[in-house]
Structure 1
Amino acid sequence: MKIVLLTGMYPPAGGGAERATALLAQGLRALGHEPHVVTTARTAGDDTVEGVSVHRIAARRAWIGDVLAQSSAARVRWNLAELADRRQTAAVIDRVRALRPELIITANIKGLGGLLPRALRRLPQPHLHVAHDFEPVEPRLLRPGQRADRLGNRVWALVSRLRWGNPEAVVFPSAWLQKLIGAQHVFSGSRQAVIPNPVDVAAVGARIPRPGGEYPPLHGGPFRMLFIGQLEPHKGARWAAETLVGAYCDTPLPTEWTLDIVGDGADRGALDTLAARDTRIRVHGPLDGAAKEERWQHADALLVPSRCLENAPLVVFEAAARRVPVVAADVGGVPEYVISGETGWRFASGDVTAFLFAAQTAADPARRSALRWQKLPPLLAPAEYARQVLALVGSTTLGPPLARGGNGGVLDLLPKNLSAFKQEEAHYHDHATHDAADVHQLNALRNRFYHQRIFRHLRPVAPGGWLLELAGGSGEDAAEALALGLRVVETDISKGAVEDAARLLSAVPESAGRFVTATMDAERIPVADGAFAGAWMTASLHHAEDPRVVLREVRRSLAPGARFVAAVEPHRLYFGAINMLKPLFELVLGKRTDMSVADEEHSGFWHGELRALFIKSDFTDVRVEPMWFTAGFLHYTLEFLTRLLKKKKRLAAPLWLEKACAYFDEFVFRLPGGRYLAWHWVASGQKPNTDR
């Protein structure tokens, strides 16, 4: 399964959250999926990092990695500009569409455009968010003791609810963050889970502890402390180093000690200066691989002296995996994973005396050897972490009767005893010579505007799930679904129509293995119950011999929670009148030869009639939305003139008129009673999550 991960930075840039995203990508790859990372950089370019394809989009303004080193005023200006940056968001969405994923995962998206969460809601793929920080309720840093429910935060949380909506699932690395964000009702409609950050098994190797495993040997000599992270003021590395050498107190740490600092950031220069004066402090800059592992091997304790609220620092899990005690500020979600007397010691953030006392305690070899390590944080390898994350969005599989299908070939799944009505419909469409795209003006904006809503109604499509199109004709809508990265079973009662669809779908880039074509009766769908992640039919429910049978059979074939859309169904108000006036039209225009039996005999549905059909078929969340008012008059006037003037091609309206009709109609439909002026309906319903 192709999965896109969206993150503002990606290693080697960034900190713990970005490393956690990289480990998720590695875990997805280990499970056999195809992860692609879309991120930003100073310059655009694609590369591969540890086997994962990384697509870097050039930042339109300053790159997020450079913004972190700028002044507070500059960062405020940058953040305000990013909130309304449509072009950056559009660049990201274009890349996502080009990749055609089946699942979209977001992490820290700062730098990808503030409108990105809202844009993702328009895509059919399910969206899973991994919340590594509290940005949805506080756009800046939260300091210890600072309330997250102030007026400004409540306003920002409202903005976040409007931006994000409710992704299909949200992962929190700590229960503290879940509670903090949940208190402001952000993501309240999303499926949620607390899943601890993963651990890099390849780096730690066989030293990941097992129950009853050996403790690491105690080092002789001075007490060796280690800091790994961003060298920014809010991470506290400079504060801790200056406290240890006595800059903030009269009594520095009495024990012989050293402090190794790994990382980079705004405080790097000040720390280099301090290290030049005091050889006990050693600044290594950013390290990776064996060089970083060597620092771990020589560490007696890890320092996490944060001056801001932390979520679940990845470095804490890395320390636990190596049985290195942690001396950490008692902030945010840290107490869930650093337990005094078990895995380390905590102190009040910014409290010099408390910090030195905790460090002195950790410096005592007897106290370190007495740590029980019975309450270790859950240590998840990347593959297990990815498995738990994917479990939140679920998956569906194609039913066995269609699993034998292949691209290009057409499966014959029609029953042998078709009624005379169905045989006549199949015969008509088998021998129809007209161009369906031209006859129905499928590429006109007035059609595309509403056809695109089909996939919005169907979202989210479960990763790996298949969609079913019934009575799909020549497959134009199915081709659009393939272009969006979805999997489609394209069916029609007419073999000729399905063969045309197979040729069209085969021409869609990267469509191999993602579609099956079959002749099928919509009243008898030969698949197991719950086989499909969604289904739709366009302008065809009124063709059915018995629409109630179609709806019940579709519902049976859908997975729990999946939706069915019946689009472009005619409104009886207009088409009943047209059928009454048919003799007059035939007198002026001549008898039509390009209409099926169903089109001649059926006048469409009333709004309440169509709604009742769905409800009586045990669908829930039933919606019957209007389509075309002035656009309908435009469409059928052009059809009338085309036939009157005997044009070979349908007459087309200018684009400005198409847009004007679409926007005006949407305005009319919002007025009381306006929906009942529609020429067509788009009806949809959901199969309940718990079936009867």
Structure 2
Amino acid sequence: MRAVPLHVMVVNNLYPPLMAGGAERIVAFLAEGLVKRGHRVTVVSTCGPEMEPYPVETQNGVEVIRFFPPNLYWSFERSLKSGPKKWLWHAKDAWNREAAERLGAILEKDRPDVMHSHLIDGFSAAIWARAKQEGVPVIHTAHDYHLMCPRAFMLTADWKLCTKPRAHCRLFRHWHVRTTRHVDLFASPSRFLLEMHRKAGLQAGAGTVVHNGIPLPPDAAEIRRQRPPEAASRFLMLTRLTVEKGVETVLDAMARLPADLPVELAIAGKGVLEDKVRAAAAADPRIRYLGFLDGPAKAEALARAGHLLLPSLWYENAPVTIVEAAAYGLSLVGSDIGGIPEFVEPGRTGFLFPPGDAGALASIMARLARDPDALPMLPDASAALAQRFSLERMIDDYERHYFALTGAGLAVAAE
């Protein structure tokens, strides 16, 4: 038996080499993995107005089409905008008919079997209605809180958890959640994110959890076996250097640790708190700032460390770094918030602490640094955790949903 090849249209506001975060990596892994299984994949993404007409590309078997969804500016540049102009952009993005028509022309030409959307800022939810108009089933994967919050983080302007959204934010949420009625299946990488959307009034035909998956490093098992004892006192933070990621909580925790405790903290990333991290590293020889890491340099940092820190202050969804760290055998020390608890088994794969509690984090770090056997089941437990979030498992799950939505099922392979 073999799966019937499908034509899957994947929609995401960015696609490599244009990148903003982890969602683009997941989308690219999925698209290329589907191609390897014999499916046809067309990715529709955005570009800046000055880039048009953007030539159609083929990347590792994936057809990539980009266009600028007409608006005040390109969504990739939204972090540079503020004030009334940003709200006017959101008003247009609430239902961008022109973007839907441009995508509709692609739908009419290519006739995909299913459309799988991810981050749709720029395109707007109008593309879902257009796909339904063409008779194309829609699956949407949420990677953040874009449909519920204009800033996508569920945080206030001063980076606190938003518990009382303002009137315009409530209107934004009501409208966007209402548009999910055009979605046949709403997927989320974490149970927490899915439940947050359900509480907000999700109207999709159905909801499900599909964990993010990444290619696991082929040498990870060997690295886990060869990890030196001193790795137990090495902590690593791979993140954006921004307030909501808990960078200041980690620096505060380090300041609370005894000066003679043999502990090392490596911080990798970029962001507005970079100068603060550099200053901390200059003042404390136990702290190293590695800058932005990727590729072999990132792998080297993971192989050297013993623990990954996830001190987030916001409702994290499913950070890809969790899977990367587990594959290399690191424990996970994370805030008890958002989706993080779904990926940390206290006492087996790591520990949880109250968000923002530098004292609690310092206690956990001290315990791990002093006792190499604090997590006796870690090697096997981390390997099992990584396998739960492998790329193949993610593709299996989405492929199964595509078949269910299209009714394609399986076909007998030709002899």
Whether TM-score is above 0.5 comes out as: yes
Query: Could you list the per-position Cα deviations for residues 596-637 of structure 1 after superposition, in whole angstroms to 9, with x for gaps in the alignment?
Result: xxxxxxxxxxxxxxxxxxxxxxxxxxxxxxxxxxxxxxxxxx
Is the counterpart of residue 343 in structure 1 residue 353 in structure 2? no
How much does 1:89 deviate?
3.8
CA distance in 2, matches of 1:252, 1:152: 48
Relative to 1, partners in 2 of residues 1:6 and 1:148: Cα closer, same or farther, differing over 3 Å? Answer: farther
Relative to 1, partners in 2 of residues 1:341 and 1:390: Cα closer, same or farther, differing over 3 Å? Answer: same
CA distance in 1, matches of 2:102, 2:269: 31
Higher relative contact order (CA 8 A, sep 6+): 2
After superposing on structure 2, the runs of 4+ consecutive aligned residues of structure 1 that deviate more than 6 Å are: 148-153
CA contact (8 A) 1:4 1:101 kept: yes
Is the counterpart of residue 142 in structure 1 residue 141 in structure 2? no
What TM-score, normalized by structure 2, do the two folds share?
0.80
How much does 1:83 deviate?
2.1
Question: Which residue of 2 is the match for residue 200 of structure 1?
Answer: 215
Relative to 1, partners in 2 of residues 1:103 and 1:223: Cα closer, same or farther, differing over 3 Å? Answer: same
CA contact (8 A) 2:350 2:375 kept: no
Relative to 1, partners in 2 of residues 1:257 and 1:98: Cα closer, same or farther, differing over 3 Å? Answer: farther
Question: Which residue of 2 is the match for residue 185 of structure 1?
Answer: 201
1:22 corresponds, among 28, 39, 45, to: 28
Output the amino acid matched with 2:63: S
Which 10-residue stretch deviates more, 224-233 or 306-315?
224-233
CA contact (8 A) 1:222 1:255 kept: no
How many positions carry a matched residue from both structures?
A: 391
3-state DSSP class of the match of 2:351?
Answer: strand
Question: Which residue of 1 is the match for residue 325 of structure 2?
Answer: 319
Relative to 1, partners in 2 of residues 1:323 and 1:50: Cα closer, same or farther, differing over 3 Å? Answer: farther
Query: Could you list the per-position Cα deviations for residues 54-75 of structure 1 after superposition, in whole angstroms to 9, with x for gaps in the alignment?
Result: 3332465443333235557765
How much does 1:335 deviate?
0.7
How much does 1:315 deviate?
1.3
Relative to 1, partners in 2 of residues 1:274 and 1:41: Cα closer, same or farther, differing over 3 Å? Answer: farther
Question: Which residue of 2 is the match for residue 383 of structure 1?
Answer: 392
Is the counterpart of residue 53 in structure 1 residue 66 in structure 2? no
CA contact (8 A) 1:218 1:365 kept: no
Is the counterpart of residue 360 in structure 1 residue 370 in structure 2? no
How much does 1:96 deviate?
4.1
How much does 1:388 deviate?
1.2
How much does 1:337 deviate?
0.9
1:4 corresponds, among 4, 9, 12, to: 9
CA distance in 2, matches of 1:251, 1:217: 24
Question: Which residue of 2 is the match for residue 261 of structure 1?
Answer: 267
How much does 1:262 deviate?
3.2
Question: Which residue of 2 is the match for residue 226 of structure 1?
Answer: 236
3-state DSSP class of the match of 1:171?
Answer: strand
Kindly report the root-mean-square deviation, in angstroms, between the aligned alpha carbons of the 2 structures. 3.4
Output the amino acid matched with 1:197: N
- Structure 2 matches for 1:607-618, cutoff 5 A? none
CA contact (8 A) 2:144 2:193 kept: yes
Relative to 1, partners in 2 of residues 1:355 and 1:89: Cα closer, same or farther, differing over 3 Å? Answer: farther
Output the amino acid matched with 2:199: A
CA contact (8 A) 1:252 1:356 kept: no
CA contact (8 A) 1:3 1:104 kept: yes
CA distance in 1, matches of 2:134, 2:365: 51
CA distance in 1, matches of 2:85, 2:311: 26
Output the amino acid matched with 2:327: A
CA contact (8 A) 2:128 2:138 kept: no
CA contact (8 A) 1:173 1:195 kept: yes
CA contact (8 A) 1:244 1:356 kept: yes
Output the amino acid matched with 1:348: P
Gaps of 5+ in 1: 396-459, 466-692
CA distance in 1, matches of 2:79, 2:176: 22
Relative to 1, partners in 2 of residues 1:243 and 1:9: Cα closer, same or farther, differing over 3 Å? Answer: farther
CA distance in 2, matches of 1:296, 1:5: 31
3-state DSSP class of the match of 1:132?
Answer: coil
Query: Could you list the per-position Cα deviations for residues 292-334 of structure 1 after superposition, in whole angstroms to 9, with x for gaps in the alignment?
Result: 2112111211111212101122211222222211111111111
How much does 1:342 deviate?
1.1
Is the counterpart of residue 86 in structure 1 residue 97 in structure 2? yes
Query: Could you list the per-position Cα deviations for residues 366-418 of structure 1 after superposition, in whole angstroms to 9, with x for gaps in the alignment?
Result: 245524454853524323311211212326xxxxxxxxxxxxxxxxxxxxxxx
Question: Which residue of 2 is the match for residue 165 of structure 1?
Answer: 181
CA distance in 2, matches of 1:310, 1:182: 17
3-state DSSP class of the match of 1:220?
Answer: helix
CA distance in 2, matches of 1:96, 1:184: 30
The higher radius of gyration belongs to 1
3-state DSSP class of the match of 1:124?
Answer: coil
Gaps of 5+ in 2: 1-5, 411-415
How much does 1:257 deviate?
3.4
Question: Which residue of 2 is the match for residue 113 of structure 1?
Answer: 124
Output the amino acid matched with 1:384: R
CA distance in 1, matches of 2:224, 2:301: 20
Relative to 1, partners in 2 of residues 1:91 and 1:361: Cα closer, same or farther, differing over 3 Å? Answer: farther
Output the amino acid matched with 1:392: H
CA distance in 2, matches of 1:151, 1:4: 36
Question: Which residue of 2 is the match for residue 68 of structure 1?
Answer: 79
Relative to 1, partners in 2 of residues 1:100 and 1:348: Cα closer, same or farther, differing over 3 Å? Answer: same
Relative to 1, partners in 2 of residues 1:256 and 1:71: Cα closer, same or farther, differing over 3 Å? Answer: farther
Relative to 1, partners in 2 of residues 1:317 and 1:122: Cα closer, same or farther, differing over 3 Å? Answer: same
How much does 1:288 deviate?
2.8
Query: Could you list the per-position Cα deviations for residues 220-275 of structure 1 after superposition, in whole angstroms to 9, with x for gaps in the alignment?
Result: 378322222333332233x24532553xxx66776333333333334445544554
Relative to 1, partners in 2 of residues 1:369 and 1:358: Cα closer, same or farther, differing over 3 Å? Answer: closer
- Structure 2 matches for 1:294-305, cutoff 5 A? 294-305=300-311
Relative to 1, partners in 2 of residues 1:186 and 1:228: Cα closer, same or farther, differing over 3 Å? Answer: same
Identity between Structure 1 and Structure 2 (%): 25
